[in-house]
Chains A and B, each alone.
Chain A
Amino acid sequence: MNSMVAQVRSLPALIREMVPVLDDTVRKTLDHKLCLSVKRLYVTGCGDSHHAALASELAFEALAGRPTEPMSALQFARYAAGYLPPTGPGTNLVIGVSVSGEVARTTEALRLARQAGASTLALTATPGSRLAEAAELVVLTTTPAFPDPPGVHTPRVRSYLASQLGLLLTAVRIGEVRGHLDWGAATAVRRDILALADAAQRTVDACDRAAAALAEEWRDAAEFVFVGGGPNYGTALFCAAKVLEASGDGAVGQDTEEWAHLQFFARTAATPTFFITAGGRDLSRAAEAAVAANAIGRRVVAVAPASASTLRDVATHRLPLAEGVPEMFSPLLAAIPGELFAAYRAEVLGEPFFRPSGGGRAPGINRVRTSEMWDAIER
């Protein structure tokens, strides 16, 4: 069994398992004073964690009722932390997301946020990690063990889901304590989040074989583009990252509008291009872009619910998302088709995940954890 596919298939059960635990943790971690004081949020991280932050922005704004800026850790640490609005204690809340808790840039971001007087929350799966030590508050997103087969390091999808759930439940908590959501509304939202388990199952069921068939059919492809808007811009980046990790193919994620501005200049016309939408506010633009993609010879996949017919009708292939999921929650499902495609793509090529013997994996090359921090540079 493909261990990445196994992870994807485990996601519905993971939602059922994690939601009550994370909800309890978040309630116990974020006190009334902070929730009532906060005026704005920044959600920062690198890689998958940055994608989770991007995917959570709409939920924070809708549920917490506070303006929220997702930022890459470099952007926040080096270009934003020094310019936080000086509105008083507890008013700026910076959430740093990192599964390992050891990446240098997100740790740096939280350290600089604290120096700037912001409140800091680490969302990490690793207690006692550098990120956890750097933050005032910690929400642990540790998932139940799901061991890899011996000698295999599988691209992570469970931890991404846990980070997303942690962020969503944080948004609910802040919104409820602030009175932006009353008890009934908050309870209904928590129920909706739990119900994503069923929607995730429907999405896995609908996409599993189709993604495998697509990976086989497009064996010849050399690069992949994932396109998404709003909360699913993060999904597009994440799916591209999974293809890179799983099969080593060149893959990019792009905002739907940005795709329409740039991709016409690409040399390879038949590049498989996945348009991801929950059928929300970005649907009309996704459908227009897909028409354009067809016109320039792209192989177009609609990753969308069946009701998003304007997109599905112009696509040559479809990976369906479950119906009836609010756009702000859709990133929890919308990544599933891309994850499955990435997993099967690696299998079709016989490519080991993460290219364990490649130069980029050698110690001291990418320096995700050992990158020099700002305080050392300033010294």
Chain B
Amino acid sequence: MKRLTTVQLETPPGESLLTITDQVKAAVKDSGVADGICIVFVPHTTAGLIVNSGSDPATAADIGSELRRLVPTRVDFQHTYDTPADAAGHIKVALTGTSVSLIVSGGELALGRSQSLMLAEFDGPRQRKVLVRVMADPA
């Protein structure tokens, strides 16, 4: 019974959306929880989480390009300690969020048929962690 799992990921350079559904499903299975809540959390400030369609890579590309349109990489960010891409990444994560709560039912994640869980990397390449905590409903 493993209630907390840490998923390790190596992200590619720049921005990317990496599907982590299978790793989270495996963590749910390892937890032995039949019915409850699965909280997925990314303990980073330039990587977030998105639940969306993972079946067509073009969707991920559209999400990425729209986030770039909303938050262009520019030179006049106030946070200049790292790079402009890093500063933009902080804002993009503020939009995506860093955690999602998912329902566990019958020992499975209750995701929609087209839904995938994706790590949104905004300043790769990095080594990222995703924490998965599974809690059973009260008896």
B81 to A183, Cβ gap below 8 A? no
Interface residue? B32 (CB, 8 A): no
Chain B interface size, as a band, is 10 to 19
Complex Cα gap A184–B125 (Å): 5
Among A182-211, those with CB < 8 Å from B are 182-184
A32 to B80, Cβ gap below 8 A? yes
Which of the listed residues A28, A33, A176, A183 has the most CB atoms from chain B within 10 Å of its own CB? A183
Interface residue? A31 (CB, 8 A): yes
- A177-B83 CB under 8 A given contacts A33-B75, A33-B76: yes
**Contact flags B85-96 to A (C-beta < 8 A → 1, else 0):** 111000000000
> Closest CB of chain A to B89's CB: distance in Å?
10
Chain A interface size, as a band, is 10 to 19
Cross-interface CB contact of B124 among A28, A33, A177, A183, cutoff 8 Å:
A183
B126 to A184, Cβ gap below 8 A? yes
Among A20-36, those with CB < 8 Å from B are 27-28, 31-33, 36
B13 to A182, Cβ gap below 8 A? yes
A183 to B125, Cβ gap below 8 A? yes
B75 to A36, Cβ gap below 8 A? yes
Cross-interface CB contact of A32 among B14, B75, B123, B125, cutoff 8 Å:
B75
- A183-B75 CB under 8 A given contacts A31-B80, A32-B80: no
Complex Cα gap A31–B82 (Å): 9
B126 to A36, Cβ gap below 8 A? no
- A: which residues have CB within 8 A of B? 27-28, 31-33, 36, 176-177, 179, 182-184
Given A28-B81, A179-B85, 17 other A-B residues pairs in contact with their CB atoms under 8 A? A31-B80, A32-B84, A32-B87, A36-B75, A176-B82, A176-B83, A177-B83, A179-B83, A182-B13, A182-B124, A182-B125, A183-B83, A183-B123, A183-B125, A184-B124, A184-B125, A184-B126
